[in-house]
Amino acid sequence: LLIIFDLDDTLIDTSGCITPIKLKDALERMIAAGLKIEDEAEAYRRLLQINQNALSSRQALKEFLGTEGHFLEIGSQEVYGNISPQLPIEPFSGVIDTLAELSSLHQLALVTQGRSDQQFAKMKKAGIDYRIFSKVIASENSSKKIHYQAVVEDLKPAADSGVLVCGDKVAVDLAPAKELGMITVHMRRGRGKAQAGPSEIVDYTIGEFAQIKEILKIETTKVIAR
Ligand SMILES: [Mg+2]
């Protein structure tokens, strides 16, 4: 099979490692720009709490700011545009071994949203060798459908073999994959933890990355049976 992965909160623990640090930076940056906050520690706690159920850091900042929304761009820029390569970032457990195992049986690709240099830096920091993927697309454009199509066009998987997409965000990662007739695996970690996907979009749900091996056994059997 051809397997297309998402990066943040699917292979690496972005929400756990980077987001809390960057939200603190964003808060400080917005305060420096004039945002009035009485108790910074308390404000940070509130921001983290809002972030727990937010679909993105940007959404969390937006909700946090309320009527002070004019600081949103300053905060967002800090979160998304200023990721230091010094920040710690870990892969989820089992990711490195599982990817290595899968790569001997399947073709792997990565479609990730964000600045290309930062996405590659995060992979490197997490110990993921990007060369394990036959194709990597890092794009700031949030619509993944055209990127999935580009991967398929480029790698040309056999017509009777399936394409499987694994990601944490149902609307962003999995809905466009389903539209293209791909098999979808919902990684319920990070941002994905708060959302349960409808069964017409989500074929499988996993909480541990290595569980994807069981799914691939099932799907490979189906391909052989065709
Ligand atoms: Mg993600």
Q: How far, in Å, from the CA of 111 to the mean position of ligand 1?
A: 10
pLDDT the model gives residue 208: 95
pLDDT at site 12? 96
pTM of this structure = 0.86
Token pair, residue 44, equals 């940070």
- pLDDT of 83 reads 79
Sign (positive/negative) of CA torsion 104, 110, 116, 118? negative
CA proximity to 10, closest of 170, 148, 158:
170
Distance of CA 44 from the midpoint of ligand 1 (Å):
23
The owner of tokens 């017509």 is 159
Rounded to the nearest integer, the mean pLDDT of the chain is 93
pLDDT lower than 50: segments of the chain:
none
Q: How far apart are CA 226 and CA 107, in angstroms?
A: 19
For residues 47 and 153, give the distance between their C-alpha atoms in angstroms, rounded to a whole number. 42
Percentage of the chain modeled with pLDDT above 90:
78
Residue 47 contacts residue 11 (beta carbons within 8 Å):
no
Distance 8 CA to ligand 1 centre (A): 4
Ligand 1 center to 129 CA (angstroms): 18
Residues 6+ apart with CB under 8 A from 36: none
Q: DSSP string of 173-193?
A: IIHHHHHTT-EEEEE-SGGGG
